[in-house]
Structure 1
Amino acid sequence: MFKNTRDRYGLIARLLHWLIAVLAIGMLLGGSLLSILPSGGLKTVAISGHKSIGVIILLLMIGRIAWRRINPQPRDLGSIPVLNYIAHLVHVFLYVLLLLQPLVGILMSQAYGYPVSVFGIFTVPPLVWQSSSLGNFLREAHSVTAVLLAAFIAVHIAAALKHHVVDGDGTLMRMLKG
C-alpha cells in the first residue's frame, strides 16, 4: 500500500520519513565533525559530500511536502487535543528546519564563492552574490539552524518513544510497519 489511510502511513510516506531522518541525523553528526578535520583532501571530499547530501535532503523534503499535500494524513492517536496540537507544531518546525538547513547551507557556500555540485552530476545555479559578510551571516544561521533541528529531532524521537512505551497507542508502529 503506497498511500496513507486513515489509520496507517503508506510505503512512500514511511520511506521518505526514514530516508530523510537517517540523512539528516547523519548530516548533523557529520557537519559537527567538519570543523575538526584538517584542511586538505579528506576535508574537501567531506565538504563536497556534505553539500551533495544537503541538496538531496532539500529535494526529498520538497517531494515529501508535495506527497503530503496530495495524500491524507492518518488520524491522531493521542487522546489529548493540546498534545496533538503540539505534535503538529513540532512537525511544522521539523519541516521548516529540514528545508531551511540545506537551503542556508547552499546559500552560504555560494556566498563564499564555492559552487554546490551534487556528486558531480549537476551544479546548483547561483542563488546569491558572492560576499564574505553574507557568507559569515549564513554560516551563523546554518549553525543555529543545526542546533534547532537537532533539538526538534530529539523532541520528536522522545515523543515517539513516549507514545510507544508509555501510551502504547501504536503511533511509532504506524511509521515502522504502516
Structure 2
Amino acid sequence: MKKNILLSVFTLLLLAVAMNACKSDPKQAEGTESAANEKGMVDPATRGQMDSEVPDDVANPEQAPGQLAITEEMRNKGFHKLLDGKWRNLADQSKVIEFRGTQIIYYENGKEVKNTSFEIDFTCANSPCKDIENRQPGWCMIEDGVCKTVTRLDMLYFIVQPADGSAGKTQYEKVKN
C-alpha cells in the first residue's frame, strides 16, 4: 500500500516536471499552440508569426500586415447595418434623420421633409471626394453629389461634416426604438 502511494506521488511529480519542460521548450510546445490560441493565451511574439502566414491574395493594403482583409463589400454591409435606423440631431432635437439601406430620410418635427440617396466611399477616391483640398479625416459619404466626411460612427453617435471642412460637424445620437 505504501509502495502504491509512493509510486503515485512519483508519477505525479514526473508529470509535473514533463509539463513544465513542455512549456519552456518551444519545439515541444508547438502542438499546444492552437489550443492556447483558441483561449487567447498565445504569446504576442508568436502571434505575429502566425498572422504573417495570411496569403498575399487575402491581404488588404489598407491594413497592417498580418490582419485578415476586409473587403469593400464587407465594410459597406457593416457600415450600413450600423448606420440603419433613426438618428436625432443633438443641436436641434426636432431634426431626425433615418437611414434605410442607401436612402436618407430627413424629418423635422416628425414630418418627412427630404428623401435622398447616399453612397459610402471608404477611400474617398470617387468624385466628388477625390479632388477636395484640406479634406477632413474619416470615411467619405456622398449625398446629392456633395462629399461629406464621417468622423465618428458607433452604436451611439454619428458625426458628419462637409469633407472640405467648410462647415462644422453635425452630431447625431441613435434613437432607441
Q: Which has the higher contact order (CA 8 A, sep 6+)?
A: 1
Q: Tell me whether the two structures share a fold, i.e. TM-score over 0.5.
A: no
What range is the shorter-chain TM-score in? under 0.3
TM-score, structure 2 length as denominator? 0.23
Which is helix-richer, 1 or 2? 1
Which is strand-richer, 1 or 2? 2
TM-score, structure 1 length as denominator? 0.23
